[in-house]
């Protein structure tokens, strides 16, 4: 039982919970911003689900993620939502030792040397999607990008095609649309506390085709250059350390990890490109990037497009709040973090904080020119999280999104439709 006297200042306690929850539901970042303005960088509140502490200071946040991950775990609503029905993967593993061992096991699958073939796949599929838009005057952009993300994930993770998009090149399987694209899922009330309802794409209950591909590949190993090949190799070398169930959990999480984040990031990007008249800059880059025979991480990293993307992810981070709860009490910067308390960090707030970004509400891609992250911003800029649990695919995702932007922008100019927020009008690039 957490005592109120143990908590940092804030409108804590049951009497405030309903009002807090209503405000939070209406405007999550507005609520957290006001909380921090009123009560300071470490403030507590309650949404009807128990006490939560917001930490909103770059140094403290860095401290938390760097030194205290072992004292925290993902809250239950997040674990349950991510875990779905097939067991754990990296995002949901709680036991610090189990998580650390798995992270070390999987890190080599994301090393720089393996990025090129994955970027080639992303470029090929993005081009084919952009070409398939011929004859259309508009697209639902998040839907199109999610389709593309699903196709790229299936190819790079399990060398499979999405139903309806096979190219007849004998991959390791064809995954039904329902499994590859997933369903939009609103967490039911029993696993989502109070106001925290989230709609996110999620794998359906039965992932039979994906499971069957995993089983076939374990039974008859052949290196296909995808993530699953590496996982099966690890399993065959030591079946105890990475079981078939572990492989299924990791594969399904990797298939889905980009389904919400990448469409959100790219839809915001095209909105910003339009709002800040950056179309010509991105189009100029597209000639270099999409015209090159092979994507070069160095060229992509230093490109104007990547700087624009990083700035867009600053103002619209796909994961605006990072959630933890204290699993073992600890002290940081004079504050007691009591076991059972929720701990939230908000990239959405930190990214707009004048202590870390000058003129934070303006869109200034030069902050990230030539692949740099400004020193003052390093402790606060975290669109992919921070510390040891930072997104394992952060570098790969940034490069992949840059390649996708170039493939689409080289062919089309996109304008947000006035009528529908997700629809973008298409103008062919001449």
Place of tokens 């009528």: 419
Comparing CB distances to ligand HEM, the nearer of 12 and 267 is: 267
Determine the size of the site formed for ligand HEM (CB under 6 A). 21
Show the tokens assigned to 25: 């539901």
**Secondary structure class of 176 (helix, strand, coil):** coil
List all residues 6 or more positions away from 367 whose beta carbon is below 8 Å from its beta carbon: 307, 310, 311, 314, 357, 374, 377
389 lines the binding site for ligand HEM (CB under 6 A): yes
For residues 213 and 252, which CB has a smaller minimum distance to ligand HEM in the complex? 252
Quick check: helix, strand or coil at residue 75?
coil
CB of 383 to ligand HEM, least distance (A): 5
| Phi-psi map region of 371: left, alpha, beta (phi>0 left; psi -120 to 50 alpha) | left
Minimum Å gap between C-beta 33 and ligand HEM is: 19
The minimum distance between CB 230 and ligand HEM, in angstroms, equals: 13
125 lies in the site for ligand HEM, by CB under 6 A: no
Q: How far apart are CB 66 and ligand HEM at their closest, in Å? A: 12
Beta-carbon-side half-sphere exposure of residue 311 (alpha carbons within 13 Å): 28
Give the C-alpha separation, 427 to 424, whole Å: 10
Q: Does 262 sit near ligand HEM (CB under 6 A)?
A: yes
420: which 2 tokens?
């529908």
Estimate the crossing angle of helix 244-275 against helix 279-291, to 10 degrees.
Answer: 130
Residue 200: count of CB within 10 angstroms of its CB: 16
Return the number of the residue (230 or 284) whose C-beta is nearest ligand HEM.
230
Binding to ligand HEM, residues 47-76 (CB under 6 A): none
Whole-angstrom distance, CA of residue 28 vs CA of residue 6: 25
Regarding 154 and contact with ligand HEM (CB under 6 A), the answer is no
Contact indicator for 64, 16 with CB cutoff of 8 Å: no
Tell which one of 33, 142, 258, 365 touches ligand HEM (CB under 6 A). Answer: 258
383 binds ligand HEM (CB under 6 A): yes
Min CB(342)–ligand HEM separation in Å: 13
**Is residue 278 near ligand HEM by the rule CB under 6 A?**
no
User: What x/- string results for residues 73 through 112 when contact with ligand HEM is judged by CB under 6 A?
Assistant: -----------------xx-----------x---------
Please, what is the minimum distance in Å from the beta carbon of residue 206 to ligand HEM? 22
Give, as ranges, the residues between 289 and 348 that touch ligand HEM (CB under 6 A).
318-319, 322
Stretch that binds ligand HEM, among 169-177, 187-195, 377-385, 412-420 (CB under 6 A): 377-385
Site for ligand HEM in 194-233 (CB under 6 A): none
Nearer to ligand HEM, 39 or 250 (CB): 250
In whole angstroms, the minimum distance from the beta carbon of 36 to ligand HEM comes to: 19
For residues 429 and 362, give the distance between their C-alpha atoms in angstroms, rounded to a whole number: 28
Nearest approach, Cβ of residue 179 and ligand HEM (Å): 16
- Decide: 386 and 373 in contact? Cβ < 8 Å: no
Here the tokens at position 301 are: 């990293």
Which one, 90 or 377, has the nearer CB to ligand HEM?
Answer: 90
The neighbour count for residue 293, using CB atoms within 10 Å, is 6
Q: Do you know the residue count of the chain?
A: 430
Question: Minimum CB separation from ligand HEM for residue 38, in Å?
Answer: 26
Q: Judged by CB, which is closer to ligand HEM: 204, or 320? A: 320
Q: Computed from CA positions of residues 311, 370, 387, 359, in that sequence, does the dihedral angle turn out positive or negative?
A: negative
Stretch that binds ligand HEM, among 212-220, 259-267, 359-367, 368-376 (CB under 6 A): 259-267
261 binds ligand HEM (CB under 6 A): yes
Best CA proximity match to 207, nearest among 83, 80, 392: 83
Q: Tell me the residue ranges of DSSP E strands in 89-212.
A: 138-140, 161-162, 174-175, 183-186, 199-202
- SS3 call for 292: coil
Beta-strand pair 51-55/342-345: parallel
Q: How many Å apart are CA 51 and CA 3, to the nearest integer?
A: 9
Residue 257 touching ligand HEM (CB under 6 A): yes
Q: Which is nearer to ligand HEM, 127 or 259 (CB)?
A: 259
Asked if residue 393 binds ligand HEM (CB under 6 A), the reply is yes
Counting contacts by CB under 6 A, is residue 265 touching ligand HEM?
yes
249 is an interface residue for ligand HEM by CB under 6 A: no
Shortest distance in whole angstroms from residue 247 CB to ligand HEM: 14
Question: What is d(CA 406, CA 28) in angstroms, rounded to the nearest whole number?
Answer: 33
Using CB under 6 A as the criterion, which residues of the chain lie in contact with ligand HEM when the complex forms?
Answer: 90-91, 103, 253-254, 257-258, 261-262, 265, 318-319, 322, 383-385, 389, 391-393, 397
């Amino acid at each position: 039982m957490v005592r109120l006297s143990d908590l940092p200042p804030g409108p804590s306690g049951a009497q405030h919970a309903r009002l807090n929850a209503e405000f939070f539901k209406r405007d999550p970042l507005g609520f957290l911003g006001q909380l921090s303005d009123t009560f300071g960088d470490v403030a507590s509140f309650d949404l009807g689900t128990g006490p939560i502490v917001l930490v909103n200071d770059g140094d403290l946040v860095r401290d938390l993620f760097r030194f205290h991950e072992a004292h925290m775990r993902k809250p239950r609503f997040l674990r349950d939502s991510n875990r779905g029905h097939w067991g754990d993967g990296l995002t949901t593993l709680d036991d610090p030792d189990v998580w650390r061992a798995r992270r070390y096991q999987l890190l080599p699958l994301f090393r720089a040397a393996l990025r090129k073939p994955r970027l080639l796949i992303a470029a090929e599929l993005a081009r084919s999607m952009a070409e398939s838009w011929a004859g259309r005057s508009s697209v639902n952009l998040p839907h199109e990008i999610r389709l593309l993300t699903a196709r790229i994930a299936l190819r790079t993770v399990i060398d499979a095609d999405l139903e309806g998009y096979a190219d007849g090149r004998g991959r390791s399987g064809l995954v039904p649309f329902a499994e590859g694209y997933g369903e939009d899922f609103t967490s039911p009330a029993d696993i989502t506390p109070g106001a925290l309802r989230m709609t996110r794409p999620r794998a359906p209950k039965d992932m039979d085709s994906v499971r069957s591909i995993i089983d076939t590949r374990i039974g008859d190993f052949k290196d296909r250059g995808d993530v699953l090949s590496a996982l099966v190799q690890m399993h065959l070398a030591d079946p105890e350390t990475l079981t078939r169930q572990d492989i299924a959990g990791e594969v399904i999480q990797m298939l889905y990890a980009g389904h919400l984040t990448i469409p959100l990031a790219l839809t915001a990007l095209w909105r910003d490109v339009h709002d800040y008249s950056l179309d010509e800059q991105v189009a100029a880059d597209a000639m270099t990037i999409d015209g090159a025979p092979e994507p070069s991480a160095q060229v992509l990293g230093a490109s104007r497009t990547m700087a624009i993307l990083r700035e867009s992810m600053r103002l619209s981070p796909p994961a605006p709040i990072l959630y933890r709860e204290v699993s073992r009490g600890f002290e940081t910067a004079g504050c007691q973090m009591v076991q059972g308390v929720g701990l939230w960090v908000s990239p959405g707030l930190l990214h707009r904080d004048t202590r870390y970004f000058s003129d934070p509400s303006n869109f200034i891609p030069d902050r990230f020119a030539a692949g740099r992250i400004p020193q003052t911003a390093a402790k606060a800029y975290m669109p992919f999280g921070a510390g040891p649990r930072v997104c394992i695919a952060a570098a790969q995702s940034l490069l992949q999104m840059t390649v996708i932007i170039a493939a689409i922008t080289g062919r089309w100019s996109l304008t947000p439709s006035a009528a529908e927020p997700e629809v973008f009008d298409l103008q062919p690039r001449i």
